Chains A and B, each alone.
Chain A
Amino acid sequence: MRHDHVLTARQLSREDVEEVLDRAAEIAADPDAVSDRHAGALLATCFFEPSTRTKMSFEAAIKRLGGDVVDMGSVESSSVKKGESLADTMRVIEGYADAIVLRHPKQGAAKMASEFVDVPLLNAGDGAGHHPTQTLLDLFTIREAQGLDDLTIGIMGDLKYGRTVHSLAHALTTFDARQHFISPESLQLPRGVRYDLHEAGAQVREHTELEEVLPSLDVLYVTRIQRERFPDENEYRKVAGEYRIDSETLEAADDDLAVLHPLPRVDEIAPEIDDTEHAQYFQQAHNGVPVRMALLDLLLDGAAVGAIGGDAR
């Protein structure tokens, strides 16, 4: 990785992704080997909108590397409440920490914030924009389960507002992946994402029915259809029910099909799937720690990143 900041999945080349995933695999195999690697390093967590798990997994990651966390706390208790700009907040916090993790409700927040700081900035979600570290752990999970070459993946659910979907779709364009998007018509991919996929020459098809493609899939990536997107509860019920998978749905699937979900789920995956070989979503959530450890390790090493990445391979 030659990046100072991790802002979007689009920014990551295939080599970048593979470097992080390879490092994550090493760390997952032998976490003790890196337990002091970043002793004394401080990570600032700035969550302008709550996300307990993403925050906890970053905290776990830096602590497992020997570092520690300084936390901005809730927005209610910070100067943001007094009207301070994000740019100012970031300029102050950069003086406290060696790297910053930012979650913000506005799209493009991480990109803007990165223009004001010199320490590495990691985008942990900017509105409906990007969530690249989620994408890296998704890719890590897919690679462990099925490999990233000659991959047929179905991405189902809320494709319009799901930033994890947008980031994943971007990232998959650098691999040999056939992407099938399955959603209600009202929740299809937004224009900007379609544009990028088209520009990248991605193999993309869109569907409204899962049955059309299920048997051909290696991976099914399920996302939550958010109730609050629907003005009418009945409309939501009608749509959500059609994109729910249970063991009956999966009878038509390949035995090796890996089912992923960025979590939390509501009822789009029946609990009966949890104990099957298909279920990869809890492993996927756990993979957040080694992947974020790998990312922090590479970023905190700064200029030495290339050498360490090279040695590691």
Chain B
Amino acid sequence: MSERELRISKIENGTVIDHVPGGEALNVLAVLGIDGTGGETVSIGMNVESDALGRKDVVKVEDRELSQDEVDVLSLIAPEATINIIREFDVVEKKRLDRPESVSGVLACPNHDCITSGDEPVETKFEVLDSGVRCVYCETIIREDITDHIVR
């Protein structure tokens, strides 16, 4: 076993999110709503050497298989990522990243005059555009730095 592989050990059951752009691993966890309080066992490799990306992040979440919805949301911040569902140490499924039509509850609207910025009982919802996302309530468009708006 090489030293690089040792850094993040194999998992028995769960999901491996590979080829995440270097430095984005924590944003991936934010998108998945994982902050440690849910009890999941999570391993993260940050800025691991990669032939394709130079530096990449790897996220392994044990005993949790990501839904297609969650995978779709990941495409906003890590379009090149690969998602492997692991059972009994084997990859049983590779999920494709498709840009979703919309994402709910994942991003906060940067517009302070947006109705979602108050104390209303609604989740934020963004329509996914070819480049960027757009609040379905106030129609504000976010193009750059989408990860800055992830609800943490």
Contact = CB atoms under 8 A, between A and B. Distances in A.
Do A and B interact with each other, yes or no?
yes
Interface residues of A, number: 20
Interface SS of chain A: mixed
B30 to A, nearest CB: 23
A201 interface: no
**8 tightest Cβ-Cβ pairs between the two chains A and B:** A108-B137, A107-B138, A108-B138, A108-B115, A106-B115, A109-B115, A192-B139, A112-B115
A118 to B, nearest CB: 17
Interface in A69-93: 83, 85-87
B135 interface: yes
A127 interface: yes
Contacts of A83: 119
B26 interface: no
A131 to B, nearest CB: 14
A106 B113 contact: yes
B114 A107 contact: yes
Nearest to B117: A106
Interface string A90-123: 0000000000000011111101100100000000
B120 A107 contact: no
Given A128-B113, A191-B141, A195-B141, A106 B118 contact: yes
A86 B114 contact: no
Contacts of A132: none
A111 B136 contact: yes
Interface SS of chain B: loop
B122 interface: yes
B139 A112 contact: no
Contacts of B116: 108, 112
Nearest to A128: B113
A106 B114 contact: yes
B121 interface: yes
Q: For B118, B136, B137, B139, which residue has the most chain A Cβ atoms within 10 angstroms?
A: B139
5 contacts: A108-B114, A108-B136, A108-B139, A126-B115, A195-B141
Q: For B111, B115, B117, B121, which residue has the most chain A Cβ atoms within 10 angstroms?
A: B115
Interface of B: 111, 113-122, 129, 134-141
B120 A129 contact: no
A86 B115 contact: yes
A295 B134 CA distance: 29
Nearest to B135: A108
Contacts of B122: 87, 112, 115
A83 B119 CA distance: 9
Given A85-B121, A87-B122, A106-B117, 10 more contacts: A105-B113, A106-B114, A106-B115, A106-B138, A107-B140, A108-B116, A111-B115, A129-B139, A195-B129, A195-B141
Given A85-B121, A87-B121, A107 B134 contact: no
Contacts of B138: 106-108, 127, 129
A22 B139 CA distance: 30
A100 B125 CA distance: 24
A27 B143 CA distance: 46
Nearest to B139: A192
Contact of A107 (B115, B119, B129, B141): B115
B137 A107 contact: yes
Contacts of B121: 85, 87
